[in-house]
Structure 1
Amino acid sequence: METTEWFSEDQATFGDRVAGAREAAHLTQKQLAGKIGVKLTTLRGWEDDLTEPRANKLQMLAGLLGVSMTWLLTGQGEGPTEPTEGEISPGVSDILSQIRELRVQMQDNVKKMGQLERQLRAALKE
């Protein structure tokens, strides 16, 4: 699966978009947390998709990262500027491609596991 997209709408999560936009803005997690006025653990929770920010913090995130709130939430709209061809080495591009491929496989496996769990529950009820 070869892709040249920086973020893929169907694969990137809210946390992926926050982390990607933060990195594109050349900010560390600690720096961004300080600018927004949240604890580092809170920002990590957002990037790890464990929690989501309230509307006021979402608006601050979008403003500081130079992206739209819609993009942060859905992946559609104005996101960070994509790196130019010269900024990403071929080796890094290959690694990113493999990561995207693994993410898709993991999502498929999670769906399959959910189906199997439902089948198991139904079989146990019999």
Structure 2
Amino acid sequence: MESESGSWFDAETATFGDRVAGAREALGWSQKQLAERLGVKVKTVKHWEGDASEPRANKLQMLAGMLGVSMRWLLSGEGPGVDAPLPEGVVPATAPAELAGLLAEIRAVRGEMSLQAQRLERLETRLEAALGATA
């Protein structure tokens, strides 16, 4: 069921919510598990997946990192994302669940590190401005 432009999850075929749900399901996570990892309510994840709302920029970045996809893919369907879902009943030939869990945790840490790096840059800019004002 790929669209003519190529990807199951592209902008013509899928919405932001579809891509969030697809990436979450590709990891084997429930909405509750994703919500707990992001520090949001399950209701919030349901709203995102139902296209009733979208996350703020900081949560979007964490979400992309945890799901192992690019923010661009989540928003537009372009860039690194997940493959089309397998037909029902087909079991993917992937790494064991433990390895998938480790990979998911690494992705989550990567997202958190990116947020912290941005925060550090903002603090450095403020410090430089404060030091420049006192000189």
Q: CA deviation at 1:82?
A: 4.4
User: Retained in 2: the 8 A contact 1:25–1:65?
Assistant: yes
What is the Cα deviation at residue 25 of structure 1? 1.1
- Calculate the aligned-residue CA RMSD, in Å: 2.3
Inter-partner Cα distance in structure 2 for 1:27 and 1:90: 17
**How many angstroms does 1:3 deviate by?**
4.0
Q: Give the conservation status (yes or no) of the 8 Å contact 1:22–1:32.
A: yes
* Residue matched to 2:40: 38
**Which residues of structure 2 form unaligned runs of 5+?**
91-135
Q: Check 1:89–1:34 CA distance in 2 against 1; reply closer, same or farther (3 A cut).
A: closer
The letter for the 2-side match of 1:22 is R
Q: Name the TM-score, length of structure 2 as normaliser.
A: 0.58
What residue number does 2:87 align with?
Answer: 88
Cα pair distance change 1:25/1:51, threshold 3 Å: same
Once the two structures are TM-superposed, the CA of residue 6 in structure 1 deviates from its matched residue by 3.1
Q: How does 1:33-112 map to 2 (within 5 A)?
A: 33-82=35-84, 87-88=86-87
User: 5+ unaligned residues in a row in structure 1: which ranges?
Assistant: 92-126
Mapping of residues 3-22 of structure 1, within 5 Å: 3=2, 5-22=7-24
- C-alpha distance in 1 between matches for 2:60 and 2:88: 32
Which structure dedicates a bigger proportion of its chain to helix?
A: 1
% identical aligned pairs:
59
Instruction: State whether residues 65 and 80 of structure 1, in contact with CA within 8 Å, keep that contact through their aligned partners in structure 2.
Output: no
Residue aligning to 1:108: none
TM-score between the two structures when normalised by the length of structure 1: 0.61
Deviation sequence 1:63-89 (CA, Å, 0-9, x none): 010000000000000002445xxx536
Q: Structure 1's 54 and 89: CA in aligned 2 closer, same or farther, altered over 3 A?
A: closer
- State the shift of 1:54 in Å: 0.3
Distance 1:36 1:17, change over 3 A: same
